[in-house]
């Protein structure tokens, strides 16, 4: 094809416009020939452009619809967010350490105090059990080899510490406390990991409708680090090769506006190589979660 016969985005738009306004392929090719295109190149351009256009619109039809997601308060490029004191809390300056748009990931510094991290661990420790993952085939849960941590769930606002942290998160992310699940605590001993996965519920699985009945989809996750391991244990986003260091008091937020891999929200916990890692995970739902 000569340099004068490049299929530019403008030409592609024009071809799609002609086709969708009812012009026959012959008329489109004739018009292109009249403006200097060879018949063969014009036919090829028409075929390629319409095939790509159809593939895109098929994808748009089969994608689950977009949902509203939480967005960290005033993430306008400022490097810290001042949270007004919620009841029983004090003014808190949370640092924005990193921010990515696609996938949407924000790393916060200083979300929890050292004492809050220690207290959550102390409350959770006696209740730890081998972690289970939500089993979306049935809507129940099961022990899973991809997740070698131990964990427990607090119910929402189960104690004053959980309630205070939940109010802080609600303010930071502008998402109501009652749209969140209770905090999940995980302990990873040396060697433990959580293989890459998505946190949203898979629409293909038969157990998903039962999970969605209680508050709709998960639309965002906040993983808060309660104990820094000596080595390893980063939270990883393999699609964009982005790793977050698990530093006590810090947190990583990520959202997914549809239950689809195109959100690039695949994430996992790299194995802890030395020491122990503890986290608290908060999942946020579309609607009120009861």
Closest distance of CB 214 from Zn ion, Å:
19
Q: State which residue, 163 or 223, has the beta carbon closest to ligand PD2.
A: 223
The CA distances from residue 93 to 52, 80, 82, in Å, are 48, 6, 5
203 or 247: CB nearest ligand PD2: 247
Left (φ > 0), alpha (ψ -120 to 50) or beta: where does 241 sit? Answer: left
For helices 39-62 and 25-34, the axis angle rounded to 10 degrees is 130
Burial class from Cβ neighbours inside 10 Å (0-12, 13-18, 19+) for residue 265 reads buried
Stretch that binds Zn ion, among 8-16, 21-29, 120-128, 197-205 (CB under 5 A): 197-205
Q: Residue 15 or 223: which CB sits closer to ligand PD2? A: 223
Residues facing residue 194 across a β-bridge: 147, 269
CA distance 249 to 121: 12
Shortest CB 236 distance to Zn ion, Å? 11
Q: How far is the C-alpha of 126 from the C-alpha of 12, rounded, in Å? A: 63
Shortest spacing between CB 265 and ligand PD2, in angstroms: 10
What does the per-residue mask of binding to ligand PD2 show for 229-268, with x meaning CB under 6 A? ------x-------------------------------xx
Tokens 């510094």 sit on residue: 109
Answer yes or no whether residue 117 interacts with ligand PD2 by CB under 6 A. Answer: no
Residue number, 212 or 280, with CB nearest to ligand PD2: 280
Bond preceding residue 116 cis, omega within 30 of 0: no
What's the closest the beta carbon of residue 194 comes to ligand PD2, in angstroms?
5
Instruction: Find the binder of ligand PD2 among 223, 224, 272, 284 (CB under 6 A).
Output: 223
Rounded distance between C-alpha atoms, residue 4 and residue 196, angstroms: 47
Given phi > 0 = left and psi -120 to 50 = alpha, else beta, which region is 166? alpha
| Contact by Cβ (8 Å): 260, 63 | yes
Report, in Å, the least distance between residue 257 CB and ligand PD2. 18
Among 116, 166, 181, 199, binds Zn ion (CB under 5 A): 199
Q: What is the CA radius of gyration of the chain?
A: 25
Q: Which does 223 bind (CB under 5 to 8 A by kind): Zn ion, ligand PD2, none?
A: ligand PD2
> Among residue numbers 3 through 42, which ones bind ligand PD2 (CB under 6 A)?
none
Least Cα distance to 133 among 124, 142, 145 occurs for 142
Q: Which of residues 111 and 186 has its CB atom nearest to ligand PD2 in the complex? A: 186
Binding flags for ligand PD2, 193-222, as an x/- string (CB under 6 A): -x----x---------------------x-
For ligand PD2, the binding residues (CB under 6 A) are 186, 194, 199, 221, 223, 235, 267-269, 279, 281
For Zn ion, the binding residues (CB under 5 A) are 199
């Amino acid at each position: 094809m000569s340099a004068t016969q490049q299929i530019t985005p403008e030409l592609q738009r024009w071809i799609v416009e002609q086709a969708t306004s009812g012009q026959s392929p012959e008329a489109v090719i004739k018009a292109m020939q009249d403006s200097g295109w060879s018949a063969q190149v014009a036919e090829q351009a028409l075929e390629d452009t319409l095939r790509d256009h159809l593939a895109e619109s098929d994808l748009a039809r089969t994608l689950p619809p977009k949902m509203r997601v939480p967005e960290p308060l005033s993430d306008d490029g400022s490097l810290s967010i001042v949270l007004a004191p919620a009841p029983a809390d004090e003014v808190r300056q949370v640092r924005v350490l990193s921010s990515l748009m696609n996938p949407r990931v924000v790393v916060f510094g200083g979300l929890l105090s050292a004492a809050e991290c220690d207290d959550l661990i102390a409350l959770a420790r006696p209740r730890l059990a081998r972690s289970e993952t939500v089993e979306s085939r049935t809507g129940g849960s099961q022990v899973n080899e991809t997740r070698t941590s131990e964990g427990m769930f607090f119910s929402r606002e189960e104690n004053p510490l959980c309630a205070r942290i939940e109010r802080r998160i609600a303010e930071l992310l502008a998402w109501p406390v009652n749209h969140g699940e209770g905090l999940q605590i995980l302990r990873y001993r040396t060697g433990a990991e959580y293989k890459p996965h998505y946190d949203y519920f898979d629409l293909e699985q038969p157990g998903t409708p039962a999970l969605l009945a209680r508050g709709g989809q998960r639309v965002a996750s906040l993983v808060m680090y309660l104990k820094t391991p000596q080595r390893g244990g980063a939270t990883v986003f393999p699609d964009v090769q982005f790793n977050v260091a698990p530093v006590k008091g810090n947190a990583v937020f990520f959202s997914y506006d549809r239950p689809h891999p195109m959100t690039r929200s695949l994430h996992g916990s790299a194995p802890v190589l030395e020491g122990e890692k503890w986290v608290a995970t908060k999942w946020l739902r579309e609607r009120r979660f009861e």
